Amino acid sequence: MPTNTVTNWFGNVVSHPSVIVDAHSVEDIVAIMKDRATYPSPVRAVGSNHSTAPCGVADGGTLIRMKMNQILNIGPDSLTVQSDALHIDMAKALEAKALQFYVNTEIGSLSAGSASCAGTKDASFPGQYGQVGSYVTGVKMVLPSGELLEVTEETQPELMQKVRSSYGLFGIIYEVTYKIRPLTPMHVHHKTFSLEEFIASLPELIALNYSMMFYIFPFDNKITIEFRKDNPSATGEPNRAAWALRNHIWGTSGPKFGHDIEQNISNPTIRYGIIDAFNAAWRLQLETIVSSDYTIPPDQIIHYPTVSDDSRYTFSLFAFPEARYPEVLAEFFKFAKEYYSQKGYRSNLLYVGYRIAQDQKALLSYSFDGTVMTIDPVSTANAGWDEFLGAYNQFCNERAGLPLLNQTPGLIAAIVQKAYGDRWKAFAAARKEFDPNDRLLNNYFRELLT
């Protein structure tokens, strides 16, 4: 059969499946799984294909494009959808009924199927988790044999824990049920610190009991913290402009600006001087405009275009134990500056980070052993990005960083095995039990499992 070319949303992860097929029903998926002659292995399923790592690549195999996106049921504390339903669409449907997700994650193109079996990131609210899949309470999937399986947290909690980090290697998920909650007003404000101020203040900042996301600027020696918390006593009309501004700069105008400056200004001193000035203005807008006692949680979710354009960006992620984060962050500031001095490369955007509470809902949760904080480079993939990520991966691996299999490019088996240890072995055993003939196993996961 002819070989096709498919990329992820950003365009830098390339897949060459022999067959591309759309799945509009469970019966379509069953037929694909059973007909090995027409639909060769590996079989991988994708939704919006936003992953920055090649977990959905199906070289020489079959790529299923999921076309099942219906909202099936909204109850007082649960939501059931087909697996290609997008988070921004589900959030709007919930908001119309005065309900919301527990985790209103930034990437609105996240599909329910991906959220239920792959890692995500968002700063945890007090007493809550920061990973979308931790609030998935049930899934239905088509197994590699073509048989159907339903798994729920109530009846099979240990299996559900494994499914939440199965990355489509146990079966193709076609239906997902979430735990949801009443729509609650949310407070947000921002404050900027020098690196030294941040490190000195971190224990007191944690004690404030806010959700915290970090905008990290190594070349300015600054960190802006986004503080969020539920504010059920808020009155008046909600502020719908605050998150709209943040989302426009973060998701559209900022990346477009970085892309255009990179394209049009060859002198790096001038180029990055302009980018640093833009970042300074960005920090000011965060502090003065993205601040309100009454915002609507789903407004945090960004609507990205179906087809990416010059405003697209890509990213990576490693998480570190909270106790070690100040030391690691200070070393990262030094690393980023030295890398630019020696190699002439720096990101043309910024870096971000999240504080994520301990969470054992998924076997491969990166906060399984305790609360973590992350360092996430973000870029338009300007020249030198891939080489930088190789050095960044080494930096993080040397400091016991934990990656995300779908959001950390350039992973190798040694990094994953060091990060997840016995949990990685347990995952490998479970995967083999579900898929003994490697119907769903692509080269990316095969190499990591070696």
pLDDT in tens, the chain (450 residues): 457 999 999 999 999 999 999 999 999 999 999 999 999 999 999 999 999 999 999 999 999 999 999 999 999 999 999 999 999 999 999 999 999 999 999 999 999 999 999 999 999 999 999 999 999 999 999 999 999 999 999 999 999 999 999 999 999 999 999 999 999 999 999 999 999 999 999 999 999 999 999 999 999 999 999 999 999 999 999 999 999 999 999 999 999 999 999 999 999 999 999 999 999 999 999 999 999 999 999 999 999 999 999 999 999 999 999 999 999 999 999 999 999 999 999 999 999 999 999 999 999 999 999 999 999 999 999 999 999 999 999 999 999 999 999 999 999 999 999 999 999 999 999 999 999 999 999 999 999 998
**Are 93 and 135 contained in the same domain?**
yes
**Are 48 and 99 contained in the same domain?**
no
Residue finishing a domain among 139, 158, 183: 183
CATH number at 102 reads: 3.30.465.10
φ, ψ dihedrals at 239, nearest 5°: -85, 105
Non-local CB neighbours of 6 within 8 Å, separated by 6+ positions: 14, 15, 16, 17, 20, 49, 63
**Are 128 and 268 contained in the same domain?**
no
State how many domains the chain has: 3
End-to-end CA distance of the chain: 29
Q: Which pLDDT score is estimated for 166? A: 98
Residue type, 440: L
Tell me whether residue 449 is in a domain.
no
Tell me whether residue 276 is in a domain.
yes
**Are 284 and 142 contained in the same domain?**
no
Q: Which pLDDT score is estimated for 2? A: 53
**Are 221 and 370 contained in the same domain?**
yes
Q: Which pLDDT score is estimated for 268? A: 95
Domain that holds residue 135: 71-183
Residue type, 299: D
Tell me whether residue 426 is in a domain.
no
Q: Which pLDDT score is estimated for 377? A: 98
Tell me whether residue 432 is in a domain.
no
Q: Which pLDDT score is estimated for 206? A: 97
CATH number at 43 reads: 3.30.43.10
Dmax over Cα atoms in the chain, in whole Å? Answer: 62
- The CA distance from 277 to 256, in Å, is 15
**Are 33 and 145 contained in the same domain?**
no
CATH number at 393 reads: 3.40.462
Q: Which of 218, 168, 248 is nearest to 434 (CA)?
A: 168
Residue finishing a domain among 20, 48, 66: 66
Tell me whether residue 407 is in a domain.
yes
Q: Which pLDDT score is estimated for 3? A: 72
**Are 41 and 162 contained in the same domain?**
no
Tell me whether residue 420 is in a domain.
no
Residue finishing a domain among 148, 183, 218: 183
**pTM of structure:** 0.96
Q: Which pLDDT score is estimated for 1? A: 46
**Are 202 and 153 contained in the same domain?**
no
**Are 207 and 122 contained in the same domain?**
no
- The CA distance from 265 to 267, in Å, is 6
**Are 11 and 59 contained in the same domain?**
yes
Tell me whether residue 431 is in a domain.
no
Tell me whether residue 133 is in a domain.
yes
**Are 376 and 227 contained in the same domain?**
yes
**Are 244 and 165 contained in the same domain?**
no
Q: Which pLDDT score is estimated for 409? A: 98
